[in-house]
Amino acid sequence: MKALIFKNKDSMPALGLGTWKSAPGEVYKAVKIAIKTGYRHIDCAPVYGNEKEVGKALSECIAEGIVTREELWITSKLWNNAHAEEAVIPALKQTLSDLRISYLDLFLIHWPVALKKDIMFPQSGKDMISLHDLPLTETWKGMEEAVDQGLARHIGVSNFGIHNLTKILNAARIRPEVNQVECHPYLQQEELFAFCRNNNVFLTAYSPLGSPDRPDGIKAKDEPLLLEDKIINEIAKVRKASTAQILISWALQRGTSVIPKSVHAGRIAENLKADEIRLSESEMTQISKLDKDYRYVSGSFWVFEGGPYTLEGLWS
């Protein structure tokens, strides 16, 4: 499998299993199936509400001798209500307890958005803290401490545009090594991808299939359906592959890591086989022309009248 190699020679499998939207009761089986199928990269987050189930699956796979901890790459994230420097390590320790592991391979700031400590999801701007009052650089000090304590081997960010990523890069003692963002042919993120490459930051693509199963509350009316795209489907037909496999292969060939989610054994195996597909230069060019700069996860749920966040501030 393709891998992204870090400065210290650690190797992150480029294709991983996403667990966002994996329902309780389903994610445990999905993780066990994925590891038995050959996945070694599992992407998690406490806000997904399923890390305890993921941890049960991980611990059983290790105990059964299917895989060793050292062979796995486990990513998780810091939720928005733990951005205070002193809150980072306690939040990480809870994640490690839930996942039944002693360290993360990769620990990410989930969003460049800060919430008050008892708030999981804001109901108004009053539930939020501005980045002026709680700068990302303060949160980053807590992330660096996670590395110092051996609780995380690598640290990075998620949903960061160039402006917010630059803030961290300019102040970091330990530089971010990954930025996990929405990325697919309708949102190719060329400028951000180039910026990350130039600063030795790997890009991980979430929602690579267009996230058709995300909650209705964050769907737009008449949004374009990536899995129904004519060009993608034509390439899939020629290749005798699924549309999902073409989308995953495209992400891998660009040099990003990619974390498609599924809880179905057949699709989990099918997605993994996308690593075997090599798209031609012509096919890659065809797909490159599909960019619509369209976000399925717009971030609008962080924007409140009178609140401290705007979409421009998030993504600029």
DSSP code of residue 217: G
Please identify which of the residues 48, 186, 206, 309 carries the catalytic annotation: 48
User: Which pair of tokens denotes residue 171?
Assistant: 């102040």
Q: 162-174: buried (b, 16+ CB within 10 Å) or exposed (e) per residue?
A: bebbebbbeeeeb
Q: Give the span between the Cα atoms of 40 and 68, in whole angstroms.
A: 10
The answer to whether 187 and 206 have CB atoms below 8 angstroms apart is: no
Closest by CA position to 309, among listed 111, 49, 144, 171:
111
Geometric angle at alpha carbon 261, from 108 and 199, rounded to 5°: 35
DSSP state of 15: B
Phi, psi dihedrals of residue 42, rounded to the nearest 5°: -120, 125
Q: How far apart are CA 293 and CA 69, in angstroms?
A: 38
DSSP annotation string for 176-210: --EEEEE-BTTB--HHHHHHHHHTT-EEEEESTT-
Distance (Å, whole) CA 232 – CA 242: 9
Sign of the torsion angle spanned by Cα atoms 296, 298, 301, 305: negative
Helices and strands: H and E segment counts in the chain: 11, 12
Active site annotation includes 48 = yes
Angstrom distance (rounded) from CA 115 to CA 228: 37
Catalytic positions are: 48
